[in-house]
Amino acid sequence: MRDFKLKNITLAFVFSLLVIMPLLIGPTVKAEPDPIRIGHLGEWTGPAGRTCGPPGDALIAYFHEYVNKEKGGIEYCDPKTGKVLGKVKVEVLYADCRYELPLFKSAFRNFVDKGVIACHSTSSPALEGLKKDFKRDKVPCFQTSSNTVAHWPPEWIYGHRPSFADDMGLYVDWILENWKEERPPRIALMYYDGPLGKSMLWGGPQYAKSKGCEIVADEPIPGMPVSTTSQLLRVKQAKADYIAATLLGSQMALVLKDMKRMGLHIPILEATGTDATELRKLAGEAAEGAYFTFPSYDLGDESRPAIKWVNEHYRKYMKGRAGYDVINEPIPDGVWYVGWLIANIMEETIRLALEKVPPEKLTGKKLRDFGINRMKDYTCNGLQKGVTYLPGVDHRGSDYNIIHQVKNLKDSQVTDWRKAPRLLPPWMTKK
């Protein structure tokens, strides 16, 4: 009987302890939330691997090294009080889709199955081919390219710079500002005979004509040209004052070399996001004097804190990586830079969304509603003039760009940030 009592008392004591202990310990430390997942529809091999690989490297380095390791993650808040509760890490899922739509589609499906809240791509097949998928699955996709078809009508694709057609408009405004002669300026068009090159034509020449410029030559360049002499001869015969070009790097190099060989000194205005490093690497001395638009200050000007910030991280994270020689080439290529830039914009949209939504409840739609749609005049640590998304109206992110020139085979900034005209493609203006 006594044993029975003792047993009961012991059991009651243990039971009471079990009930009271959690109350005595106080609130438990909340485990770190699961990482937020984003997807990179990448290309390291395939025809666009050289251009599309570095942005992917930059994006992965930005989130895995800079955000997760250096910063410890992105802060998230209590939506009601705004009090910071902790940090959440970001995992980048990626795939090498080799410019093949079936692989992009499959990779995107896989990302969605794994719960990504946003995607990124530099590739036209991904951006154009998956446009409806982004919309259907409510996953915003950021682009480092400036694909006009992807941008208009504005749905679930977001950019960071004006389109190639807008860039032509920007050049036209700049030409007219500096034009001294009585006659109108004569502009020749040279573009890659493919989607990327022709995107300049969706609004660019029309804008030039509306401003009084003459379009005196229209010269498509095939994908893999052997020579561009015949096209350049026609440009010369047309007495063009400027050549507006949207060419791939290899095509641009050939045009520049042919121009040098022919002794043709017409200013060439490139608008496909190339930069001085790429032009110098591809065309050598022939690159001298070429103009290009690039959404950044001179990447070699480390007196600017923002540029220094990018370059230091480039050297830190890319050191020893295959394909990167940061000792001899301490300044990143333009394509790597834009990957870092878009990653910074993506981080900011996630941070904004986490002010309103807890990380475990963050979805693509909520990222759009509480992050992307709230982004206004974001300067990317001083890298940009200001990124703003106008929901359903304009998802390019920025109207501003900078005109640069290759001088002494180095980047030389010709203008400061200039506002490009917003040129809508024909399918947006047709009733």
- The residues of the shown chain that bind another protein, judged by CB under 8 A, are 42, 44-45, 49, 53, 56-57, 60, 93-103, 105-107, 109-110, 112-113, 124-125, 128-129, 131-132, 149, 193-195, 198, 320-324, 427
Contact 5, 11 (CB under 8 A): no
DSSP result, 179-219: --SSSPPEEEEEEESSHHHHGGGTTHHHHHHHTT-EEEEEE
Task: Please report how close the Cβ of residue 418 comes to another protein at its closest, in angstroms.
Answer: 27
Task: Please report how close the Cβ of residue 151 comes to another protein at its closest, in angstroms.
Answer: 12
Task: Please report how close the Cβ of residue 133 comes to another protein at its closest, in angstroms.
Answer: 8
Task: Please report how close the Cβ of residue 293 comes to another protein at its closest, in angstroms.
Answer: 21
- Among residues 326 and 409, whose Cβ is nearest to another protein? 326
What distances in angstroms separate CA 380 from CA 342, 375, 396, one per listed residue? 9, 11, 15
How many alpha carbons lie under 13 Å from residue 246 in its C-beta half-sphere? 28
Largest CA distance in the chain: 118
Task: Please report how close the Cβ of residue 425 comes to another protein at its closest, in angstroms.
Answer: 8
Tell me the two tokens of residue 348.
């900011």
- Among residues 128 and 214, whose Cβ is nearest to another protein? 128
- Among residues 60 and 170, whose Cβ is nearest to another protein? 60
- Among residues 133 and 348, whose Cβ is nearest to another protein? 133
Task: Please report how close the Cβ of residue 42 comes to another protein at its closest, in angstroms.
Answer: 7
In angstroms, the first-to-last Cα distance of the chain is 95
CA distance 413 to 390: 29
Task: Please report how close the Cβ of residue 22 comes to another protein at its closest, in angstroms.
Answer: 39
User: In this structure, what are the phi and psi dihedrals at residue 76, rounded to the nearest 5 degrees?
Assistant: -125, 150
| Residue 321 amino acid letter | R
- Among residues 42 and 154, whose Cβ is nearest to another protein? 42
Task: Please report how close the Cβ of residue 125 comes to another protein at its closest, in angstroms.
Answer: 6
Contact 244, 187 (CB under 8 A): yes
- Among residues 53 and 295, whose Cβ is nearest to another protein? 53
- Among residues 76 and 111, whose Cβ is nearest to another protein? 111
- Which residues face 102 on adjacent strands? none
Closest Cα to residue 410, out of 327, 289, 243, 253? 289
- Among residues 319 and 376, whose Cβ is nearest to another protein? 319
Where residue 373 falls (left for φ over 0; alpha for ψ -120 to 50; beta otherwise) is: alpha
